[in-house]
Chain A
Amino acid sequence: MARSGIFEIKGIGDGLLVTVKSGAEWQAVHTALRNHFSERAAFFKGARVALDLGTMPLSAKELEALRADLERLGIELWAVEAESPKTVKAARALGLATRVPRPEPGKTKPRRAAQPLGEEAILVRGALRSGMRVEFAGHVVVLGNVHAGAEVVAGGNIIVWGRLRGLAHAGAWGNREAVVCALELSPTQLRIADVIAASPAEQAAPQPEIASLKGNQVVAEPWDTSP
C-alpha cells in the first residue's frame, strides 16, 4: 500500500485501487497522481487502475485528461467510483466502469463468482447514449432507454424499463440463470454468460419481453403477467 497526503493506492483483485482523500482539489490530485506514477513508470507500466473519488465532482474533460496522462505511462484507467452524480455521468460518457468489485476476505477471484453478489442492484436513471457503459457485479436496472452503441454489463440480471437498443450482457461472470428484460427488447446484441446472440428480426408491435438461456440458446419470450 502506498500513501501520500492526497491519495492511497492498494492492490485489489487484478489491479490497483486509488482512493482520493476527501477535501482535496482536483488539480493537486491530478498532478500528484501523474508525478507518483511517472516517477515509478517501469513498475506501474501495464497496470489496471480504478479510481475512488468519493464525493468529488468531476467533468468528462477532467477525467479524460487524467486517463490520457496515465495512458501515456502505459497505465489503463478502467473504472471510476464516485458518489457525485456528475462524476458518474462523466465516467459513463467515457466508457469507464462505475463500480469496482471489492475482494471479500478469503476469496481470491470474486469476479469469477458463480452467483451474483446477493441481490445487490444499481439503478441507472435517464438514457444511456452511444458510447456509455455501465458495468456492475450485481443486477442493473435502467430507468430509461439504452441507445444503440451503449453497453450494459451485469453479473446478475439486466432490467430496462424502456427500450433496449444497445448491447446487454447479463450473467457476465458466468451466471447462466441471468435474464435480460425490457419494455422493448431490440438490442444490437444480447449476451447471457458466455452465449452471444445477434438480434432477432425487429418486431412490428414491440411488447415487454424477457430473454433467458434455454440450453445454449438465448430465447426471448413475452413477459407473462399471469399468476
Chain B
Amino acid sequence: MGKVLTITSGKGGVGKTTTTANIGAALAGLGKKVVCIDADIGLRNLDLVLGLENRIVYDLVDVVEGRCRLRQAMIRDKRLPELYLIPAAQTRDKTAVSPSDMVEICDELRREFDWVLIDSPAGIERGFRNAIAPADEVVVVTNPEVSSVRDADRIIGLIEAEEKGPARLIINRLDPRMVRSGDMLSVEDVVELLAIELLGVIPEDESIVINTNRGMPVVLNPKSKAGQAFHNIARRLLGEKVPFMPIEEESGGLRKLLGRWLRGG
C-alpha cells in the first residue's frame, strides 16, 4: 500500500512545488513508483517545474467532475521510469475540489503507487484542507526568514489540530554566508522556533531557477548542491539514516551545529 505525503508551508513562494517535484523525481530515481498531484487549483505550477505543461489533456478537476478516468489525467514523465503527474486545473479555483474528493482519489492511487505526493497551495483555507485531508504524513517547507517561519508555525498548529501530525520540516534556501554574518536565521534558530523534527536543509542554489525555467528538476543535475540535498531527503523518507550535508567549507558555527545533529542521529 502506498503512502500519501503532503508538502505544505503556509507562506507562498518558499519552495513547496520545487520540493514536491524534486522529492518525486528522487524517489522515482530510487526505483519507486511515484505520482505527484498539483492541488494548487487556479495557480498551477507543478506542471511547469516538471516541464510537462505541453502534455496536459485532462486535470484533477476533470477527474473529480467525472469527465475522465483517473488514468487519463496522469502524465508520465519520460525521463524517469515511474514518475507521473496529475496536474491542477488553471481555469478553476479551489472550491472545485473537496477534501473528500482528495481522499477518494488518493485511496485509489495508493493501490497502484508507492508514493503519492501532494503539492499544497499556500494559505490555510480550502486548498490547504484539500491537500492534507488524504495525507499519511505532512512535510512543512519554510525559508530561514521570520515571516515564513511564523506562517509555518501556524500551519503546524493546524496540522496538529487536524490530527495529521507530527509534521517534519524542510528548511529551504539556506545561505551559509548570511547565517555566519548574523543576517539570516540559522538551522538551529528555525528548529528551535518550530519545535518539529528536521527532515532536510536545502542550500540557496541558483541552479534551481535555471533548471525550473527549463522544466527540469534539479535532482537530475549531478552538480547541484540543492539536488543532492533533495536526494538525501528522499533517502530519509525511505528510512535511511543520511547525515546532513556540510554546507560550509570552513569549520565554525554551522559545522558545530551540524555536528549536534549528527550526534542526535
- A residues sitting closer than 8 Å to B (CB atoms) are 59-61, 86, 89-90, 92-94, 127, 129-132, 145, 147-149
A148 CA to B190 CA, complexed, in Å: 13
The residues of A that contact B195 with a CB separation of less than 8 Å are 127, 145
Q: Can you pick out 12 interface pairs between chain A and chain B where the beta carbons lie within 8 Å of each other?
A: A60-B158, A60-B161, A61-B99, A86-B163, A89-B160, A92-B161, A129-B156, A129-B157, A129-B160, A130-B151, A147-B153, A148-B153
Smallest CB gap from A149: residue in B: B150
A129 CA to B129 CA, complexed, in Å: 18
The contact string, 1 if C-beta is below 8 Å from chain A, for chain B 144-159, is 0000001101101110
A131 touches B154 (CB 8 A): yes
A129 CA to B194 CA, complexed, in Å: 9
The residues of A that contact B193 with a CB separation of less than 8 Å are 147-148
B99 touches A132 (CB 8 A): no
B157 touches A61 (CB 8 A): no
A93 touches B153 (CB 8 A): no
In the complex, how many angstroms separate the beta carbon of B142 from the nearest chain A beta carbon?
12
Smallest CB gap from A94: residue in B: B161
The secondary-structure label for the interface of chain B is helix
The contact string, 1 if C-beta is below 8 Å from chain A, for chain B 163-199, is 1000000000000000000000000000001010000
In the complex, how many angstroms separate the beta carbon of A58 from the nearest chain B beta carbon?
10
Which of B153, B154, B157, B162 has a CB less than 8 Å from the CB of A59?
B162
B160 touches A130 (CB 8 A): no
The residues of B that contact A59 with a CB separation of less than 8 Å are 161-163
Q: Which of B151, B153, B157, B162 has the most CB of A within 10 A?
A: B157
A149 CA to B163 CA, complexed, in Å: 21
Given A130-B153, A131-B153, A149-B153, 7 further pairs, Cβ under 8 A = A59-B162, A129-B156, A130-B150, A147-B153, A148-B150, A149-B150, A149-B154
The residues of B that contact A131 with a CB separation of less than 8 Å are 153-154, 157-158
A89 CA to B164 CA, complexed, in Å: 13
